[in-house]
Amino acid sequence: MTMEAAAPRRTRIQQEKREVILEAALEVFSAQGFRGSTIDQIAEAAGMSKPNLLYYFRRKEDIHETLMQRLLDTWLAPLRELDDVGDPMTELRSYIRRKLEMARDFPRESRLFANEILQGAPRIMPLLEGELKTLVDDKAEVMKGWMRNGKIARTDPYHLIFSIWATTQHYADFDVQVRAVLGPDRGADGRFEDAARFLEELFLNGLRPQ
Residue 135 CB partners (closer than 8 Å, separation 6+): 76, 79, 80
As separate numbers, helices (DSSP H) first and strands (DSSP E) second, the chain gives 11, 0
User: Minimal CA–CA distance to 153: which of 115, 93, 83, 209?
Assistant: 209
Distance CA 90, CA 96 (A): 10
Within residues 70-99, the interface with DNA by CB under 7 A covers none
CA 121 to chain centre: 14
Q: 76: buried, middle or exposed (CB in 10 Å: 19+, 13-18, 0-12)?
A: middle
Within residues 32-51, the interface with DNA by CB under 7 A covers 37-40, 48-51
Number of shown-chain residues binding its own copies (CB under 8 A)? 55
Q: 177: buried, middle or exposed (CB in 10 Å: 19+, 13-18, 0-12)?
A: exposed
Within residues 116-145, the interface with its own copies by CB under 8 A covers 117-121, 125, 128-129, 132-133, 136
Note whether 106 binds its own copies by CB under 8 A.
Answer: no
Note whether 31 binds DNA by CB under 7 A.
Answer: no
Note whether 20 binds DNA by CB under 7 A.
Answer: no
Number of shown-chain residues binding DNA (CB under 7 A)? 20
Note whether 120 binds DNA by CB under 7 A.
Answer: no
CA 75 to chain centre: 4
Note whether 147 binds its own copies by CB under 8 A.
Answer: no
Which of its own copies, DNA, none sits in contact with 192, Cβ below 5 to 8 A by type?
none
Task: Indicate which single residue of 155, 187, 188, 190 sits in contact with its own copies (rule: CB under 8 A).
Answer: 155
Q: Is 8 helix (H, G, I), strand (E, B) or coil?
A: coil
> Which parts of this chain interact with DNA (CB under 7 A)?
11-14, 17, 37-40, 48-52, 54-55, 58-61
> Which parts of this chain interact with its own copies (CB under 8 A)?
31-36, 111, 114-115, 117-121, 125, 128-129, 132-133, 136, 153, 155-156, 158-160, 162-163, 165-167, 169-171, 173-174, 176-178, 180-183, 194-195, 197-199, 201-203, 205-208
